[in-house]
Amino acid sequence: MANAGVEPVVSAAWLKAHLGEANLQVIDGSWHLPVRKRDAAAEYVAGHIPGAIPLDIDTVADPAPPPPGRMLPSAERFAEQVGLLGLRPSAHLVVYDAVGMYSSARVWWMFRTFGHRAISVLEGGLPAWNAANGPMESGAPKRRDAVAWPVRPANQGVRDWRAVLRNIDTREAQLVDVRPPEQFRGSTAANYPGVRDGHIPGAISLPRNEFLLPNDTFPPPETIEKAIRSAGVDPDRPIIASCGSGVTACILALALELTGRQPCAVYDGSWEEWGHRPDLPATTD
């Protein structure tokens, strides 16, 4: 089994069977683009998996970044923030989101980037849990004692705009954009007002629905690999994943781990950062 006995994804049936175990903590990692006009905190209060601890990726983030607002924090801030939530470094963490397979992958990637390997994503998220008649509870988050979380430096799984700009010339890694084709080649204004159209030069389009099933679960590893190769991406070469806001790019990192490979690097700022900067090159070709 991957990650010292912890699988990268678990099913709703698995979580139902293990919910409440002493060494298991569940995270509600729900997050929504502002244009969606959904309130993740209010939705948590209305209903969540019993015992789930809410983690806001806008809070566990760099407190003063350029756009977008959820850039990876320092190792010290990450340790402080997750410790304040009462998350335990000895626990097996299982993260879900309200959409299905969206911001939960970002939470998984953050913990993996800072060295916590015992974390899984609930496949299909809250919709899958509800479909499996999993129990729910309502109410505000419970207060938990703060935990001393170890400060570990970020691994090589994160890239900034400087690394991506260099890569346009060096092509040391394949830059893979998981946004829908209409955003890759055309307009992004509907999701990111004020951001330019297009994509980073040299990027390869691999929409996430090519390697995700409609119910936000993953197909078998060989099907994931076929989808990646069909887009012209070699999964055995270095990859930098990009998306609109640095969230869904993490789904590709998770998908690669399911094929037995190490997660790819993620361009943290993604198009929301790059498209805000007129000094960085862009194309719609």
| Residues recognised as catalytic | 243
In the 8-state DSSP scheme, what is residue 142? P
- 93 forms beta bridges with 25, 119
Residue listed under structure tokens 């988050």: 141
Instruction: Answer positive or negative: Cα dihedral of 113, 119, 124, 127.
Output: negative
Question: What residues form DSSP beta bridges with 58?
Answer: none
Helix, strand or coil for residue 178? coil
Beta strands 53-54; 9-10: pairing state:
unpaired
Contact 282, 274 (CB under 8 A): yes
User: 65 preceded by cis ω (within 30°)?
Assistant: no
Distance CA 97, CA 100 (A): 6
